Chain A
Amino acid sequence: SQELEQSPQSLIVQEGKNLTINCTSSKTLYGLYWYKQKYGEGLIFLMMLQKGGEEKSHEKITAKLDEKKQQSSLHITASQPSHAGIYLCGADPGSYGKLTFGQGTILTVHP
């Protein structure tokens, strides 16, 4: 079965700083999803990457997929307190609408 390892597990940054969260897979990545979760709330979809080398951006968040390394990275530029929460990567093992998730990265942004 596929396993996803996220690093770091937690991250504390000062507002305005850049940061990167990594997600490494034990198997080939066919599709990689990034979600964000505020404490006590549901999951908010951020981005989906499907091709090696693909890069997507939304506002100050950029995600990349490195197929050879079986890894995806999520980069936040000029972090804000609104970016705080839990970031989860999820991999699609092939279909059927089910994902394998990493353990999550807890991001804290101090004003």
Chain B
Amino acid sequence: NAGVTQTPKFQVLKTGQSMTLQCAQDMNHEYMSWYRQDPGMGLRLIHYSVGAGITDQGEVPNGYNVSRSTTEDFPLRLLSAAPSQTSVYFCASSGTGEKLFFGSGTQLSVL
């Protein structure tokens, strides 16, 4: 099983550029979520989805967009990258009452 696949692994952007972080899971999980990890701050929830067509904001949603057109995919869009968005991003998925399965992460630098 591939589990949760995130691409790319590394990305460098210039301020103002836009990009999409891809996330796909092959476990037919209903729940998917995006987190960012910054030093000393653990993981903070950006957006999450409880099923195809349904998304909601987490703790730090500003500057990010998501959509969930299929059960498998949950892309995260940076609309206009800012240096404050330099971070490591993790996508996760789970079924009801199950542990979260995490992707391997995307290291993003915004110059």
Give A contacts to B, CB under 8 Å: 1, 4, 6, 9, 33, 35, 40-43, 45, 48, 88, 90, 95-104
Binds A, one of B14-22, B42-50, B63-71, B77-85: B42-50
A34-B30 Cα distance, complex, nearest whole Å: 22
- B31 near A103 with CB under 8 A, answer no
Give the chain A neighbours of B42 by CB distance below 8 A: 4, 6, 88, 101-104
A107-B35 Cα distance, complex, nearest whole Å: 22
Sorting the interface of chain B by its residue count into under 10, 10 to 19, 20 to 34 or 35 or more gives 20 to 34
Q: How far is the CB of A68 from chain B (nearest CB, A)?
A: 23
Q: How far is the CB of B6 from chain A (nearest CB, A)?
A: 9
- A43 near B90 with CB under 8 A, answer yes
Give B contacts to A, CB under 8 Å: 29-33, 35, 40-45, 48, 50, 58-59, 90, 92-105, 107
A26-B65 Cα distance, complex, nearest whole Å: 29
- B100 near A88 with CB under 8 A, answer no
- A97 near B104 with CB under 8 A, answer no
Known interface pairs A43-B90, A98-B58, A103-B41; 14 further A-B residue pairs with C-beta atoms within 8 A, sorted by A's residue number: A4-B42, A6-B42, A33-B99, A35-B102, A40-B107, A41-B104, A90-B43, A90-B100, A96-B48, A97-B31, A97-B48, A97-B93, A98-B48, A102-B42
